[in-house]
């Protein structure tokens, strides 16, 4: 493990990054990184609508700027926007000034469509200095407790069963979308069917946190 990543572990272990939400409500948070993208976002939104589910979409600033229509649809259909910085790169390797620019530029694009309360660093690890920048901007860092790793994070045929076995009340599920990740709508469709049979509903992060 390299030195920057080791340095990023401390804030996570000290609880400054949200991993799950203690709650009695039969709900979990569904989160999707790296969009929006025409290859996956419309189909994913259709799946969520069929299930009556909601999610938090952690958008990349450069993709949100390129596809404002998709960001607008995400917000219009009752989903939540999260800040995933400007481009898909390991945040923990960025100098603080570069991270701050990436975060602020993304926030500006997303806030044109609705409130943004959460951020998720690229590659899932923040540093203490990066967290301070995000917290000063009013953003809470959130990671996850159940993460799809196959299919570049979009899942594969066995992912819904594997994730369904570990998703519980208050869990934060992490999936990825975008080019090469066209499997994610099917993953979400099957996962939501499984969790519904257990009486669990998928909601956005703010709704989950508000019901804790």
33 catalytic per annotation? yes
Chain Cα centroid distance, residue 10:
21
Of the residues 54, 84, 130, 176, only one is catalytic, namely: 176
Q: What predicted TM-score, i.e. pTM, was given to this entire model?
A: 0.93
CA distance 113 to 116: 9
Residue 155: left (phi > 0), alpha (psi -120 to 50), or beta? left
87 in Cβ contact with 54 (< 8 Å):
no
Walk me through the domains of the chain, giving residue ranges and CATH numbers: 3-210 (3.20.20.370)
Q: Please list, in sequence order, all residues whose beta carbon lies within 8 angstroms of the beta carbon of residue 139, skipping any fewer than 6 positions away.
A: 83, 103, 107, 116, 117, 118, 119
Of the residues 33, 37, 84, 113, only one is catalytic, namely: 33
Each residue's pLDDT, cut to its tens digit, for the chain (212 residues) gives 454 544 555 555 457 899 999 999 999 999 999 999 999 999 999 999 999 999 999 999 999 999 999 999 999 999 999 999 999 999 989 999 999 999 999 999 999 999 999 999 998 888 899 999 999 999 999 999 999 999 999 999 999 999 999 999 999 999 999 999 999 999 999 999 999 999 999 999 999 998 43
Nearest to 51 by CA among 191, 198, 175: 191
């Amino acid at each position: 493990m390299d030195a920057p990543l080791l340095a990023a572990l401390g804030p996570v272990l000290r609880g400054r990054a949200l991993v799950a939400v203690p709650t009695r409500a039969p709900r979990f948070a569904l989160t999707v990184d790296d969009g929006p993208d025409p290859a996956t976002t419309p189909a994913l939104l259709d799946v969520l609508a069929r299930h009556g589910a909601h999610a938090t979409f952690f958008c990349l600033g450069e993709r949100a700027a390129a596809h404002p229509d998709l960001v607008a649809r995400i917000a219009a259909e009752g989903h939540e926007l999260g800040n995933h910085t400007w481009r898909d790169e390991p945040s923990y390797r960025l100098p603080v000034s570069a991270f701050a620019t990436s975060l602020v530029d993304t926030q500006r694009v997303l806030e044109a469509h609705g409130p943004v309360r959460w951020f998720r660093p690229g590659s899932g690890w923040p540093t203490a200095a990066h967290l301070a920048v995000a917290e000063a901007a009013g953003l809470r860092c959130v990671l996850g407790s159940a993460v799809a790793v196959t299919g570049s994070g979009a899942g594969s045929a066995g992912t819904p069963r594997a994730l369904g076995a570990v998703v519980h009340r208050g869990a934060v599920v992490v999936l990825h979308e975008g080019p090469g990740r066209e499997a994610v709508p099917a993953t979400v469709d099957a996962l939501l069917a499984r969790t519904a049979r257990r009486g669990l509903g998928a909601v956005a992060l703010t709704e989950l946190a508000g019901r804790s």
